[in-house]
Amino acid sequence: MGYAKNQSAVTLKTGRSNNVLIFLNSLYNQYFSIMTTHLIKEIENKDYRSTICFTEGFILDLNQVNIAEVNQYAAVISLVEPTDDIVAAFKERNIPLYIVGIKPNQTYPNYAITDDYSGGYKVSEYFAKKKYKKAAYVTNSPSETSFRREQGFIDAVSTNCNKTYKSYSFEEYGDSYEKIVDSIEKENIDFIFCFSDYLGFIIRTLLHRKYHNYDCVIIGFDNISDYIEVFEPLSSVASDIHQISKDVVDHIILSVNKKNIKKLRKTYPVSLNIKK
């Protein structure tokens, strides 16, 4: 009959728009662009809209909470870790909060994460059964996600072999990648597990540029090269990004429509994708 819903009127009546706010803190890391693209597609499939908001640093701040409240967003998806006070602010304002990729300490947020511990463990098992002698875990993130990946790697090393292991932590090195590759070469490390594919690409590029004949294997996390073919393939821990984004958006729609559902708290399986 030609009827078209007036979304402004609906927003005025319900106090919520049909817009979902997505927070991310990196425009360089390809994982964020891939995950955000999948989320946006799922949101649009539900006849909702999305807004991307960039925040600096590794945690959300109160400015982001205010943005969500003032614009009456239906829900917030964050790829950035929230602190206790931020979570409390979202809860007080009754704004549904979904954390993707990071397991929150608080009970209020919904979350969808990969099995990071298992991912690290699988990488270490591969290291243990191959000819490699000395491994390193490299991270440029202080997040609990990085801790779980490293812990899985450490536990498997101690369980499955007595090979040498070294950690290049964010706290010690930050983004001093030149220092890291110099140390890798100096210590003859032949197996590198990186927190993310983005970091893996950086380390591989610098090693090839500075030490042309340096021989080592690099394994990342996120399986980026299967989504963006422009990158030379990198062995990586893979998960189902499409399923994660679909589950998050489906849950948001049910929640917004006042369906009586449990919180989304799901950990997704991972697999090790070795590129030849």
pLDDT, tens digit (0-9, with 9 covering 90-100), for 175-206 = 789 999 999 999 999 999 999 999 999 999 99
Mark whether 228 and 121 lie in a shared domain.
yes
Mark whether 157 and 218 lie in a shared domain.
yes
Q: What is the DSSP letter of 273?
A: E
Instruction: Identify whether 2 is part of a domain.
Output: no
β-sheet bridge partners, residue 221: 237
Mark whether 19 and 111 lie in a shared domain.
yes
Q: What confidence score (pLDDT) does residue 163 get?
A: 87
Mark whether 202 and 258 lie in a shared domain.
no
Mark whether 225 and 260 lie in a shared domain.
no
Mark whether 196 and 234 lie in a shared domain.
yes
Could you tell me the residue range of the domain that residue 139 belongs to? 116-238
Q: What is the pTM of this model?
A: 0.89
Instruction: Identify whether 138 is part of a domain.
Output: yes
pLDDT tens for each residue of 148-169: 999 999 999 988 788 888 999 8
Mutual angle of helices 144-160 and 116-129, in 10-degree steps: 30
Provide the pairing of β-strand 217-221 with 75-78: unpaired
Instruction: Identify whether 1 is part of a domain.
Output: no
Q: In terms of Cα–Cα distance, which of 110, 145, 129 is closest to 222?
A: 145
Please tell me the distance from the alpha carbon of residue 230 to that of residue 208, in angstroms, as a whole number. Answer: 18
Q: In terms of Cα–Cα distance, which of 210, 223, 198 is closest to 141?
A: 198
Mark whether 217 and 171 lie in a shared domain.
yes
Mark whether 133 and 103 lie in a shared domain.
no
Q: In terms of Cα–Cα distance, which of 65, 46, 71, 8 is closest to 255?
A: 46
Q: What confidence score (pLDDT) does residue 13 get?
A: 42
The answer for residues whose C-beta is within 8 angstroms of residue 73's C-beta and 6 or more apart is 16, 17, 19, 20, 21, 51, 95
Instruction: Identify whether 71 is part of a domain.
Output: yes
Q: Which residues of the chain form beta strands (DSSP E)?
A: 19-24, 49-54, 75-78, 97-100, 110-114, 134-138, 164-168, 191-194, 217-221, 235-238, 265-268, 271-273
Mark whether 200 and 171 lie in a shared domain.
yes
Please tell me the distance from the alpha carbon of residue 213 to that of residue 215, in angstroms, as a whole number. Answer: 6
Number of domains in the chain: 2
Provide the pairing of β-strand 191-194 with 134-138: parallel
Instruction: Identify whether 183 is part of a domain.
Output: yes
Q: What confidence score (pLDDT) does residue 9 get?
A: 41
Q: What confidence score (pLDDT) does residue 2 get?
A: 55
Mark whether 31 and 129 lie in a shared domain.
no
Instruction: Identify whether 275 is part of a domain.
Output: no
Mark whether 219 and 105 lie in a shared domain.
no
Mark whether 190 and 54 lie in a shared domain.
no
What is the greatest pairwise CA distance in the chain?
74
β-sheet bridge partners, residue 134: 164
Q: Is the pLDDT of residue 111 over 90?
A: yes
Mean predicted confidence (pLDDT) in 19-27:
92
Q: What is the amino acid identity at position 138?
A: V
Instruction: Identify whether 37 is part of a domain.
Output: yes
